[in-house]
Amino acid sequence: MRRKLNYTTSVSLLSKQPTVPKTIIEKIIERHGGREVAPGDICDVEIDVRAARDFGGANVVKNLRDSGLGIADVSKTVFTFDCNPGGSDQSYASNQHICRLFARETGIPVYDIDSGIGTHLAIDRGLVVPGSTFVSTDSHANILGAIGAFGQGMGDQDIAAAFALGRVWYKVPPSAKVMLKGAPGPWATPKDVGLACLRFFGANGLLGYSAEFYGDYVDALGVDGRITIASLATEMGAIIALFPPNKAVMDYCRKVSKKTIEPVYADSDAHYEEIFEIDISGLEPLVSRPGHPEDVVPVSQVAGRKIDSAFFGSCTNGRLSDFEAVADILKGRKIAPAVVYKIVPATDDVWRQILHSGLLEVFKDAGALVGNAGCAGCAAGQIGQNGPGEVTISTGNRNFAGKQGKGEVYLASPQTVAASAIAGVICSAGNIPAEAAVFERLKAAVHSAKGIAAAPSEMATRPTVVEGRVGVVPIDNIDTDMIYHNRHLTITDRAQMGQFAFGNMKGWEHFAKNARPGDIIITGKNFGAGSSRQQAVDCFLSLGIAVIIAHSFGAIYERNAINAALPILVADLLGEGLKDGDRIRADLGTGVIELLGKNKTVQGTPFSDIQMQIYRRGGLLAKDR
């Protein structure tokens, strides 16, 4: 049975003559929202393409079925099976089958296991063009900024709502302008430029911003290079990295889409909250050290570090130009003894091009394993995972602890990864040693299974004033892998999720066992950075956490929390001397937080109207009460 899903925001007709100059994101949202907007406004935005992957897709289907919702427009709705194309474990195989059955019932197109990464397909198949809007369960859906389109990763409830309504509520972000100055060195690639930006901004330097990239270097970049840099926006905390489309991008998009395209460019006098200049003059190859994508240093600083494996692929680097550059390095060479080199093209089109061009033979002759097109090692995919003690150098965009396995992961360009695979140690393509290093593998550590606590029931009431015991987590940039590890992502029963909260964060493994319903979490900046997994929110609902108060939240995490009716407040309480067990009272409507026993109040950010509306209803997809 279908029912109508209702939530409201104010909508008015878009004025034909904008009253103030606009940035790219503001123009795109106005075009799809039907009214003039400014940063901080909330409006309904029409979504041109809404996608769900094999990771998260089954939960989207479950949400739609449980809520009795239909599909607004199957021609604008797709499934993409890219996380684990081979369905190499039972859970992924089951999730894919659930999505396929639903697609057969509804007529939703499926880009199945032979297709590749959904965000790349959206560009290469012309589904999304400059100025379009796109949402997906992929936290790197903002890759679409590479062609000047809006892309946003969202949680399962958001995507279910987009499937059912064709639109989502959206808060217009402030815009920042990023100017890249100078020309990088001869061995530096777009990945190195992206890592340089990540080094400059850190994990939260662009938190909540729509960042527009400009400069001579940007102007000369084609689609592939723009995708690489855009894919790192999430790791900088940005909503999206937007690249004004140049002629090469427009020509490509017109060719693959066969559409008339109206690109969106910022007004010359548009207002930016921040303007940043990053000098990339003479930039040398860079590498991100394990655990933190923003911990970026020159390759020369870690040169000589022995590796066990190398991975080339992902949504950041898996394009044809990457393969051509790597083939030039590998030609006539062999992978070092005891090193495993895994290669995964971004799309099946790239796979076919390397097959027919002869590049595949170069990779195989060198000793590489070439797998199905797709995401590979991310989100527990079938190729690219590493084991305890294993040292990997990867072209991916994330190296959070546990993200790509239990070993250490360095991030670098395809050229640096290829050079390191040949050498057996980390090195740049300009400094490959004459002989490969040979070394003994480390013994894998054996980890014993730990007991897990039973999950308490969900909160039964939704008060607007909450009082509870404080649990202080004085850490910035807590990512979703730390909150809820990807090995538990196939769980769909919220009641089972609480036991795994903070289970992958060193020193906090026993959090779930000690938590009580009604507890309040106090934490730092950029809480919930990383992926779009809904479980990182639902695990706290499972535990009965009353509210999470953070200095700031990751953009996707904030949406997921609001949509799941998990109370979150923005306030800086880490400097107030609170200790575990102290009590506070928080008014969600006013944002006022009382530090009980300290005779002090702190002003936080109150719930927005849409946040309170969703919270009172018990969630984005809850029936009206």
Q: Check: CB of residue 67 under 8 Å from CB of residue 55.
A: no
449 pLDDT above the threshold of 50: no
pLDDT digits (tens, 9 = 90+) for 136-153: 999 999 999 999 999 999
Higher confidence at residue 588 or residue 450? Answer: 588
Q: How far apart are the first and last CA of the chain?
A: 19
Q: Check: CB of residue 282 under 8 Å from CB of residue 185.
A: yes
Q: What pLDDT, on the 0 to 100 scale, is given for residue 624? A: 58
pLDDT (mean) for 351-371: 96
Q: What pLDDT, on the 0 to 100 scale, is given for residue 169? A: 97
Q: What pLDDT, on the 0 to 100 scale, is given for residue 464? A: 96
pLDDT (mean) for 97-115: 96
Domain 24-279, classified CATH 3.30.499.10, yes or no: yes
Angle between helix 223-230 and 190-201 (nearest 10): 30
pTM: 0.86
Q: What pLDDT, on the 0 to 100 scale, is given for residue 461? A: 62
Hey, what are 187's tokens? Answer: 């061995």
Q: What pLDDT, on the 0 to 100 scale, is given for residue 7? A: 40
The amino acid at residue 190 is P
CA 224 to chain centre: 18
**Which residue in this structure is represented by tokens 């730990």?**
450
- Give the range among 1-5, 487-491, 499-503 with minimum mean pLDDT: 1-5
Q: Check: CB of residue 184 under 8 Å from CB of residue 285.
A: no
3-state SS of 162-197 is HHHHCEEEEECCCEEEEEEECCCCCCCCHHHHHHHH
pLDDT (mean) for 410-417: 97
Angle between helix 90-106 and 57-67 (nearest 10): 50
**Please, which contacts does 439-446 make with residues 24 or more away whose CB atoms are closer than 8 Å?**
439/306, 439/338, 441/308, 441/338, 442/308, 442/389, 442/390, 443/389, 444/387, 444/388, 444/389, 444/390, 445/388, 445/389, 446/388
Span 286-431: which CATH code? 3.30.499.10
pLDDT (mean) for 59-72: 96
Q: What pLDDT, on the 0 to 100 scale, is given for residue 405? A: 81
- Give the range among 8-17, 70-79, 143-152, 354-363 with minimum mean pLDDT: 8-17
pLDDT (mean) for 164-183: 97
Domain definitions of the chain by residue range:
24-279, 286-431, 465-617
pLDDT (mean) for 104-128: 96
- Give the range among 52-56, 212-216, 237-241, 516-520 with minimum mean pLDDT: 52-56
459 pLDDT above the threshold of 90: no
pLDDT (mean) for 518-523: 98
308 pLDDT above the threshold of 80: yes
DSSP label at residue 430: G
453 pLDDT above the threshold of 50: no
- CATH class for the region spanning 465-617: alpha beta
542 pLDDT above the threshold of 70: yes
Q: What pLDDT, on the 0 to 100 scale, is given for residue 450? A: 36
pLDDT digits (tens, 9 = 90+) for 314-328: 999 999 999 999 999
pLDDT (mean) for 168-180: 97
Q: What pLDDT, on the 0 to 100 scale, is given for residue 577? A: 94
**Which residue in this structure is represented by tokens 């990182």?**
536
Q: What pLDDT, on the 0 to 100 scale, is given for residue 267? A: 97
Cα–Cα dist 481/473, whole Å:
16
127 pLDDT above the threshold of 60: yes
Cα–Cα dist 562/285, whole Å:
40
- Give the range among 336-340, 396-400, 571-575 with minimum mean pLDDT: 396-400
CA distances from 301 to 245, 292, 435 (A): 35, 16, 20
Q: Check: CB of residue 391 under 8 Å from CB of residue 407.
A: yes
Q: Do domains 286-431 and 465-617 have the same CATH topology?
A: no
Q: What pLDDT, on the 0 to 100 scale, is given for residue 89? A: 76
CA distances from 427 to 129, 287, 295, 546 (A): 38, 10, 17, 49
Q: What pLDDT, on the 0 to 100 scale, is given for residue 445? A: 36
pLDDT (mean) for 407-415: 96
